[in-house]
A and B are shown apart, each in its own frame.
Chain A
């Protein structure tokens, strides 16, 4: 995975040709190799978190499912911030303004607020672990509808600056682009899986430690 990401970083600059239709011979669009996987992963993380939230509600008192849901949401928030930052840098150099209130820009801000609300909810109930797990699971399920609507529907219903055709039209994507973009999706997904299991293991160690201390006090 480390080597794959290193290849993606190298390939973004030296394997892929400059994208047609962008400034400076397409050099400005090289950030796409990092921005698009982050944006896609931010919605995948939400979906994964929601699946674990449902599993928590189905199998009551399942600590592992709650931990995976929370870890997935935290990582989703991180990828959402990265997608916003890289997108804003691209907008700044390509369109002349770092923020244009494009439909996708607006929807990612609302997506960030949805993630932040989930994390604030968990933080507010940190002293009541069972109530925290139950309420945050319900929130994750309810907020899935606006989250998916914002990610998939809004940018397709409203016209914006986003160059979606660069990636969706086969004639616009050269082989050199695909040779970097697809490994980039894989590298970021593997990074997400690695970070998810690290965070879940850390939560498990912390919970075991706390349970041991409580049993020692009794």
Chain B
């Protein structure tokens, strides 16, 4: 296995972890926004 291939294989680990964390945070952000909107709508009613 060449040096570049080894580096690419190791890089894949933090990259996959980062995509997982980023997607999860985006999901939380969206859900929080919808919760805040529903709370605001209830306050208005």
By DSSP majority rule, is chain B's interface helix, strand, loop, or mixed?
helix
Do B22 and A2 touch across chains, with their CB atoms under 8 A apart? yes
Q: Report the separation of the CA atoms of residues A90 and B28 in the bound assembly, to the nearest whole angstrom.
A: 32
Do B22 and A5 touch across chains, with their CB atoms under 8 A apart? yes
Closest to B17 in A: A9
Q: Report the separation of the CA atoms of residues A12 and B7 in the bound assembly, to the nearest whole angstrom.
A: 10
Given contacts A9-B14, A198-B28, A198-B29, contact A14 B36 (CB under 8 A): no
Q: Report the separation of the CA atoms of residues A195 and B29 in the bound assembly, to the nearest whole angstrom.
A: 9
Given contacts A2-B22, A209-B39, contact A9 B32 (CB under 8 A): no
Which parts of A12-28 form the interface with B (CB within 8 Å)? 12-14, 27
Q: Give the Cβ gap from A195 to chain B, nearest Cβ, in Å.
A: 7
Do B32 and A201 touch across chains, with their CB atoms under 8 A apart? yes
Q: Give the Cβ gap from A35 to chain B, nearest Cβ, in Å.
A: 12
The 9 closest A-B pairs by CB, nearest first: A13-B11, A13-B7, A9-B14, A2-B22, A205-B35, A201-B32, A9-B15, A208-B39, A5-B18
What residues make up the interface of B, taking CB atoms closer than 8 Å to A? 7-8, 10-11, 14-15, 18, 22, 25, 28-29, 32, 35-36, 39, 42
